Structure 1
Amino acid sequence: MKILHVDASSKFHQWSNSRALGRYFIEQLQHKGVELEIDYLDVTEDVQPHISAEFVQATYTPQAQRTDRMREVLAESDALCQRVMAADALVCAMPMYNWTIPSTFKTFIDNIIRTNVTYSLHEDGSITGNLGDKKVLFVTTRGADLGEGSPFANMDAMTPVLRNTFGFIGVENPWFVDAQPLQFSDEAAREAGLKKAREELDAVSEEWAMSLVSADVIVA
């Protein structure tokens, strides 16, 4: 299985819960005997360019009609889309910043939502996402508890952004594991939140491993 593993925390590696949980999930897959090829991307270090007027013009120009300058403007995005399309699965780990996704992950999204690359635009105006064959896991960390029944539950702008954005490019049922509450809680609540997240990651890794076994049986 080839995994594109994306980290989006601005914290140093040793202080980041989202980075640690993402690594934990990869380790659990390996412990279950899944052979992995990891393509790692840290969007806080390899920062994608913001969308510009040139980018918009180039991406909506048919490929055969693009100028050299247009191809230059799209080069980084093209390469990133190729990495996404080449992966069997995406593991995206990130903290919640001000109720939503980190800005660096937003630029990642902006660079991979590409007409007739990650989604197809048909003559009748309908759209088909092209990532329907990918497993996608979002590992998120939240300072407060935004779960059902929490006074902050309606502040979660992160989940709908991720679900709807990736749904547009074909990912219908992504996995979500949310570690909460972390920063704005006492030590016992933090530890409980992290323990619950690790248990959920264990379950997802088991599900992924079993799906690979089932696929091998069907192929055989």
Structure 2
Amino acid sequence: MQRYRWWQPLSRALLHLDLPEDDGRTHRWSVDVRLWGDSNGEILAQLYRDGSHRAGSKLPALFRVPGGEIEVVTSGYGLRRCHYVPDNGPERQLVPDPASAEGRRARLERRRPALSRAIGAVSITVLLVSLVLGVPQVIEQVSHIPIVAERIGSFVSPIQLPAVLNVGLVVAGLVASSERALRLRYHWLLDGGLFDGDD
């Protein structure tokens, strides 16, 4: 497995799971996801055991490991889920590599919990505002498609924002969704709404 490089925070997710096995030793299982895809644009998850490659899969991925399975799912902004689901007992999220963007965000959460909560709250607020302001405008655009207008009529949004504010809304939504992806947070309405093609 390649070492995590300083230039990869936006393009690579690397998470680990330490599992005791039948040989009496604890082995490190790692999931490596290149978020921008391979040369064909396909996003794959690679599974390693103590640094040696064991399996690869298209996403969503399900890897069998001792005592359970590792589930890996992405959204349009990063990882949506990377959890160990044991045959018996509660599931748990894999631990992000300290050098990764997810690892740095987790470190901020440990060291500055109040700041971390504030950033999380701002992310949710931005997504909620984007949803409230953006949905009526999207409905208006869709309702002006001739076939839709003929069947159900046209809709005029009560909210009309200038183009600059709409662009700002989209950019803020992308940043907020990316921040949530660094914490592997996902809600179908917030993170699967206006900005994410993945639901």
TM over 0.5, shorter chain: no
Instruction: Determine which structure has the larger helix proportion and give its number.
Output: 1
TM-score, length basis structure 1: 0.24
TM-score, length basis structure 2: 0.26
Q: Which has the larger radius of gyration?
A: 2
Instruction: Determine which structure has the larger strand proportion and give its number.
Output: 2
